[in-house]
């Protein structure tokens, strides 16, 4: 199997290189090798490599910057997935693509299912939803995974930011009225590899292509998440100026950002688990493992 992996230097792309390596010949690229803002570059890459599978974790993920850089966010998040799908369809290849909880408005009381109406509240969410639709309409067989609060040992993320701030200051405020599940890049990569393997074994058209929610188990809010990160760091012997109990909870209205965030990012993973026979670990397990890597344990 020939696998084309885009965004190899991102949090998820980095882990996917490891997870996909045993499954076939992986061509892993990033911006220097293929500018995803240029449809012609995407088409040239796909046509030259002729993959059996395209895996696309690449995206414009700077949520606040997207509000003022809408053209780039649209090119990477909305247009590129459709182009990949079109080229995959011509080859008879299939596509695995990653989307976001930000396609929802966050006002639902419970966890979102794949059938719930989308209503993104910011440019990032709108462009990611447009990318979902473009891939769905491309004619390519596909898996789309909506995930949330991605965290990995490689790249920038909330956990690393909290560790950095805790080494610099003695007080911190963190939003406590937004809920979701921190999901490790390693979990996303491992589930991806598992489903590629299942597809290789299944053959035919019986495989469950479509749209799925893929997040770790459990839930938390950003403030409690930050406290968990610091508690784990202290347990690992990390010297910190900021203690977990010194973090003060605030509301989203007290911390305005250019892009509006959904208050509820909970996503129901029943469809994914039942279709593919998977169990998804609690978010603390993945975050704990990542922190062990970051802290050198």
Q: Is 14 left (phi over 0), alpha (psi -120 to 50) or beta?
A: alpha
Cβ neighbours of residue 106 under 8 Å, at least 6 residues apart?
121, 178, 261, 262, 263, 264, 265
Q: Is 179 a catalytic residue?
A: no
**Active-site residue identified among 124, 179, 212, 225:** 124
Q: Are strands 179-180 and 220-221 parallel, antiparallel or unpaired?
A: antiparallel
SS3 content of the chain, % helix, strand, coil (to 5): 45, 15, 35
Cβ neighbours of residue 36 under 8 Å, at least 6 residues apart?
6, 42, 58, 75, 76, 80
Cβ neighbours of residue 85 under 8 Å, at least 6 residues apart?
95, 134, 135, 137, 138, 139, 140, 142
Whole-angstrom CA distances from 45 to 33, 41, 72, 176, 270 are 9, 6, 20, 44, 36
Calpha distance 227→221 (Å, rounded) = 10
**Four-CA torsion 179, 100, 149, 176, nearest 10 degrees:** -20
CA atoms within 13 A on the CB side of 157: 24
φ, ψ for residue 25, nearest 5 deg: -85, 115
Residue closest to 56 by CA, chosen among 37, 32, 28: 28
Residue 124: beta bridge partners?
none
Q: Which residue has the tokens 């995206």?
A: 59
Residues labelled catalytic: 124
């Amino acid at each position: 199997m020939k696998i084309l992996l885009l965004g190899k230097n991102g949090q998820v792309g980095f882990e996917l290189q490891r997870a996909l390596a045993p499954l076939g010949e992986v061509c892993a690229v990033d911006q220097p090798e293929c500018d995803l803002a240029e449809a012609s570059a995407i088409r040239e890459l796909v046509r030259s490599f002729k993959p059996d599978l395209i895996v696309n974790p690449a995206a414009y993920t700077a949520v606040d910057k997207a509000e003022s850089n809408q053209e780039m966010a649209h090119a990477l998040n909305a247009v590129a997935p459709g182009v990949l799908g079109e080229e995959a369809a011509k080859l008879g290849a299939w596509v695995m693509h990653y989307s976001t909880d930000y396609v929802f408005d966050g006002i639902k009381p419970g966890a979102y299912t794949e059938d719930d109406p989308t209503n993104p509240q910011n440019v990032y969410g709108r462009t990611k939803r447009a990318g979902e639709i473009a891939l769905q309409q491309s004619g390519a067989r596909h898996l789309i995974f909506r995930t949330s609060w991605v965290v990995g040992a490689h790249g920038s993320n909330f956990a690393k930011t909290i560790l950095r701030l805790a080494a610099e200051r003695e007080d911190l405020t963190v939003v406590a009225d937004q809920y979701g599940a921190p999901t490790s890049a390693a979990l996303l990569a491992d589930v991806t590899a598992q489903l590629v393997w299942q597809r290789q074994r299944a053959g035919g058209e019986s495989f469950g292509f479509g749209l799925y929610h893929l997040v770790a188990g459990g839930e938390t809010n950003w403030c409690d998440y930050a406290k968990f990160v610091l508690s784990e760091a202290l347990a690992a012997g990390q010297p910190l100026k900021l203690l977990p109990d010194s973090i003060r909870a605030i509301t989203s209205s007290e911390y305005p950002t250019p892009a509006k965030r959904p208050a509820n990012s909970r996503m129901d993973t029943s469809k994914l688990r039942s279709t593919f026979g998977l169990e998804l670990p609690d978010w603390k397990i993945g975050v704990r493992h990542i922190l062990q890597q970051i802290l050198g344990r």
